[in-house]
Structure 1
């Protein structure tokens, strides 16, 4: 990297843009460790504060992340860049609509008022929706804090309960929609075929910060994987392999404190299901990193759910 000493543009801004360019061009892919601040400052003949300022601003934008004692790393920016692209598309649509409104004789203030009123109407529609989420393992019962819109009720239900209890099906009669993983969509449709409720299959992915934290771990020793079910353990292992992380995992399913006390000291860190954090922390060795493994719908699935909710509510009005 080279800085233009005569441009008048502050060095930290030049550095920031050059780092951003390297990332967007794929020269520094997600997970790349950036040069230490002092080392980069010396190579560019600038102060360390210049490098620190560039790193901090990129970190605040979600492009970089830092870990004390480990360094600064490139985040997975694909979703950030996609989000920026979608935002630009929406703004172009808004511009076209605004020009059309002005052409029809309305003022820009009128247009802003129309958009506000219609937005509040849509928000109110979503606030009255009820959605059931059929999951295959107990760990996912605690992972339903998704942004589907203000006030949308999301009820998680175990697939095994649906299979074994007719009363569980009765609980779904008042739902506007049912969602489940794509691998179990056919079975859920058969089980709920008589209810005539829209059923949607979605794709789940691990939360990005979870994968990043695991990727930054020192792999000198194996890791403990603490779960409530074998199904969740397999989901975690599959997600790690898909991310290119082939780790030595010692899997513990519903362990007691004695088992945890024996196994954890032999491991470098522990990955766990969110509902087991309290149990694990009681016997967690000092300074051992503890990472909750969480799944969430991918961006496409979330947008599909929100769009279908609006369509369903529109049909009922």
Structure 2
């Protein structure tokens, strides 16, 4: 990676970490950074940009939370898998096309691009009414479940981006709850999120998911006593996956669960299992570690949840 990967303007009144994150997102969105490509180590990029290493770590963490990169202890930070990046590029293509057109036209005007952007922000804040803006949707989840799946499905249904706040980050959750027009969480955290939202006199949409029927049938056909591992972002996510199998009455297997971020438990489950079922969020990475054992565990949003989201989206439409 060269020093020109990201370019900062210390005089521009947008925080440095936002400049770094948005430029990296742009490089991913327009294809300059490809799925699987490694980003510079935080210390290296921080040295190139002359910023604190914690700033780069925070940016990488935010990109991970948005599903755009993978962070693996001892292995560095890489661009996410092709399916996640393709979906991101599809969402962002129109935005980047408009930005390119506006910037190209603005170069012919008698003022700088920085002046144009600042004036546009000021104008939007002052004169564009709230009714013309999209409703602010918020998904509250944890880092252990397959939150990229829920985010992706919600955005497909409501037709706009949704902010994600993670219960592990208490201050971020409270700030996001205050600003949200519509709050969504999963059955995994329904009671906790409803209690938090009640402090701000707001209601919560509760959505749920199931395992794909064909996958459950596949597991049901396994020989008795086979060792099957279920792997998600965190152990709780793996336990959810195994729980759907047990709910379906499939009890002939010996199941184990692990989170991909727990390297010790992950290695144990890889060696001890005959088969591994991975959520979409970790499938590509687990497949690389155990190609002969790994299978995808597809999830489906419940039909009732889809209906709730569609109804809420229609009610909030400007």
- Taking structure 2 as the reference length, the TM-score comes to 0.48
Q: TM-score, normalised by structure 1?
A: 0.48
Larger Rg: 1
